[in-house]
């Protein structure tokens, strides 16, 4: 009897190990390999670019002795492989080096600018999802009608129009002419540093502080750039949603549900939409990640102090520590979003468990 119980416990432990420990270990190894590859590629690009960070510090008129001393201080006199291992060691400790522009740690700069991009991209993604998903579903249900054609035109314009042109036209019309929105920047000059920074996202910080005047001013500044990013997200999400729904609406189980006399609303939302949720998770995650790292032009046009404009400014100033640090953070965001979408797969699709 004792042997049977011991054997049963062993099988249970083995099952738990195979179900939870092994997948978790595989995920962690995959993350580690991906981030190592990202660090290696980022480091190599930073070293092969025709930019000399030493000259950015000492200037072109510096003597050779000054140049060599600065190069030694920065560790650039060592073999490349040694430099990479030093860089890897520092990154694992959260140290991305010191910015050549302001002599501050790059990690502190990223901590300061990333919430601005996170706030902008999150609001844009929410707009794109809450408008794009119903638009794509309605276009699929009304396939071939003027509603479908209108939805496709809206998505096509979102793909085709340069976002910098839309941004400039938006500023000209809604800020310059109509005065409906705030201008460039996150907040008016009179409201800078009025509320304490808790999350780094000024809308949330103003709510936490109970300062609705700052919230209103910040919202007037963010609504236009967020709407532009939301339109880009809407174009992508609605197009993919329409494609997924068209595939489901032609399936046999949908025909069966209609033959049974189920209401059309039930057929669409409880049956067809339920089967595209997993696919939409990937689409939304990719859209969100794209807005987080691809909103450089929007941030530049609207003087938005986010990570996109930070990396661009650093690149133009040959501040490679800042460029590499920002690139690594953006890559990490992509990896985390992929993991999060994988977890959601298991929530919405029992087969993935």
Integer Cα distance of 327 and 345 in angstroms: 27
Which residues touch 111 (CB under 8 Å, ≥6 apart)?
Answer: 200
Write the pLDDT tens digit of every residue in 110-145.
998 899 999 999 999 999 999 999 999 999 888 888
202-209 and 106-141 helices, crossing angle to 10°:
100
Contact assessment for residue 106 and residue 214, using Cβ atoms and an 8 Å cutoff: no
Q: DSSP code of 274?
A: G
CA dihedral 324, 45, 310, 161 (to 10 degrees): -140
Pick the CATH number of 109-352 from 2.40.50.100, 2.40.110.20, 1.10.3720.10, 3.90.950.20: 1.10.3720.10
Could you tell me what percent of the chain has a pLDDT over 90? 14
Integer Cα distance of 20 and 8 in angstroms: 18
Cα Rg for the chain, rounded, in angstroms?
A: 26
Write the pLDDT tens digit of every residue in 50-107.
666 677 666 677 777 777 787 777 777 777 788 888 888 888 888 888 887 777 888 8
Q: Tell me phi and psi for residue 184, to 5 degrees.
A: -60, 160
What does the pLDDT average to over 22-40? 78
- 35's tokens: 């981030």
Domain limits, CATH 1.10.3720.10, in the chain: 109-352
Question: pTM for this one?
Answer: 0.82
């Amino acid at each position: 009897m004792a042997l049977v119980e011991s054997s049963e416990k062993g099988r249970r432990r083995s099952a738990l190990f195979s179900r939870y420990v092994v997948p978790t270990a595989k995920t962690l190894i995959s993350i580690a390999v991906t981030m190592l590859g990202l660090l290696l590629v980022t480091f190599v690009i930073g070293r092969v670019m025709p930019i000399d960070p030493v000259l950015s510090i000492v200037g072109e008129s510096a003597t050779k002795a000054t140049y060599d001393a600065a190069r030694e201080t920065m560790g650039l006199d060592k073999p490349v492989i040694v430099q990479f291992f030093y860089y890897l060691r520092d990154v694992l400790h959260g140290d991305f080096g010191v910015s050549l522009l302001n002599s501050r740690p790059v990690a502190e700069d990223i901590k300061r600018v990333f919430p601005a991009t996170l706030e902008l991209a999150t609001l844009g993604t929410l707009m794109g999802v809450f408008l794009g998903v119903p638009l794509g579903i309605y276009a699929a249900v009304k396939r071939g009608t003027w509603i479908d054609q209108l939805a496709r035109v809206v998505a096509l314009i979102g793909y085709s129009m340069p976002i910098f042109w839309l941004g400039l036209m938006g500023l000209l019309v809604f800020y310059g002419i109509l005065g409906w929105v705030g201008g460039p920047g996150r907040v008016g000059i009179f409201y800078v540093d009025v509320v304490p920074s808790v999350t780094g996202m000024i809308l949330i910080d103003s709510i936490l502080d109970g300062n609705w005047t700052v919230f209103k001013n910040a919202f007037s500044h963010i609504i236009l750039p967020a709407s532009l990013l939301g339109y880009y997200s809407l174009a992508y999400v609605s197009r993919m949603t329409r494609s997924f729904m068209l595939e489901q609406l032609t399936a046999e189980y949908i025909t069966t549900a209609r033959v049974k006399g189920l209401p059309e609303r039930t057929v669409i939302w409880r049956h067809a939409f339920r089967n595209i949720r997993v696919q939409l998770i990937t689409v939304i995650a990719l859209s969100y990640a794209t807005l987080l790292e691809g909103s450089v032009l929007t941030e530049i046009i609207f003087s938005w102090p986010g990570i996109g404009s930070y990396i661009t400014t650093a690149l133009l100033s040959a501040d490679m520590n800042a460029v590499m640090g920002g690139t690594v953070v953006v890559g990490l965001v992509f990896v985390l979003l992929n993991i999060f979408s994988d977890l959601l797969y298991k929530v919405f699709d029992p087969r993935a468990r």
